[in-house]
Amino acid sequence: MFQQIYGLRLAMQPCWHKAFVILSLSELILHFRCMEYIIVEPRYEKHIALIRLNRPKELNALHLELMAELRDALKMLDADEEVRVIVLTGNERAFAAGADIKQMAGKNAIDMLKIDQFSTWDQIKKTKKPIIAAVSGFALGGGNELVMHCDMVIASETAMFGQPEIKIGVMPGAGGTQRLPRAVGKVNAMEMVLTGKFISAQRAYELGLVNKVVPVELYLDEAVKLAREIALQSPIAIRLAKESVLKAYESSLSEGLEFERKNFYLLFATDDQKEGMAAFVEKRAPQFKGA
């Protein structure tokens, strides 16, 4: 439907979602309405967008189609100047129970190589705006890996995290063997990956996998509350700060420090820095514009 409506505009793009097209709000909303496996509210609150994974019967198993929609939604929300923070959630029973086992079961290695299902995940990593995961119920396999792609995590006390791939004869493939040790340390990651055992929200909190655990009726509110705090800050400073923190995962200390320092100096080119510091001096709240 979207392709029909915007066929003319996008006709030149063999793969329209890969094109950098800035859409108006009504176009965005129309596009999001065409999505089947996620629900996107680009104006959930001022400067906050909400994405809800929406395959409840399958416990939000992350099949290719869902992941393609998620990739497209993130790309569009990232390009939408009104959005400053993205909250990603599932439902009370499941954030996501992993990659779709039924979709993968009959595939051979060459099929998997050709499909290259994890390439769609790269967009999550590339998203410049902060993503907060609001997790309840199962966050397993690819579900836990999706959680770890996010920047912060609020969990309901019913949340369960795990990498159970070993129990179906495989292993994590969407970053679990790399991000989990960084999040919870080698021995804990090893135990989770090699036994497939789940851990509770409380244990995930103790290990540093989640920021906060709250009663189930509050997990989304709490994530939005955190999003609100971040949305009040300068979007440019937030973007560079996020990039700098992520750099810590992929560089040596001295490279990371150099990167941080340059980003810090760069922020002095923004109006938001002038406003933020002037507001401090004048003892008032800053009004950040993202410029």
Residues annotated as part of the active site: 99, 142, 145, 165
* Shortest spacing between CB 209 and ligand CAA, in angstroms: 16
If the CB atoms of residues 188 and 234 are measured against ligand CAA, the closer one turns out to be: 188
Local structure of 200: helix, strand or coil: strand
Please state the closest distance from residue 288 (CB atom) to ligand CAA, in A: 37
Is 6 or 118 the residue whose CB approaches ligand CAA more closely? 118
Residue recorded with tokens 């989770």: 192
Nearer to ligand CAA, 102 or 284 (CB): 102
* Nearest-10 Cα torsion for 36, 38, 39, 42: -120
Give the list of residues 6+ apart from residue 100 with CB closer than 8 angstroms, or none: 58, 61, 62, 63, 64
Query: By C-beta, is 176 or 235 nearer to ligand CAA?
Result: 176
Report whether 217 contacts 209 (CB < 8 A). no
Which DSSP string do the residues of 56-81 spell out, in sequence order?
Answer: GGGTT-B-HHHHHHHHHHHHHHHH-T
Which distant-in-sequence residues (6+ apart) come within 8 Å of 258 by Cβ? none
Minimum distance from CB of 98 to ligand CAA (Å)?
3
Binding stretches for ligand CAA (CB under 6 A)? 58-59, 61, 97-102, 138, 140-142, 145, 164-165, 168, 172-174, 176
Least spacing, CB of residue 64 vs ligand CAA, in Å: 11
String of DSSP letters for 158-172:
T-EEE-GGGGGT---
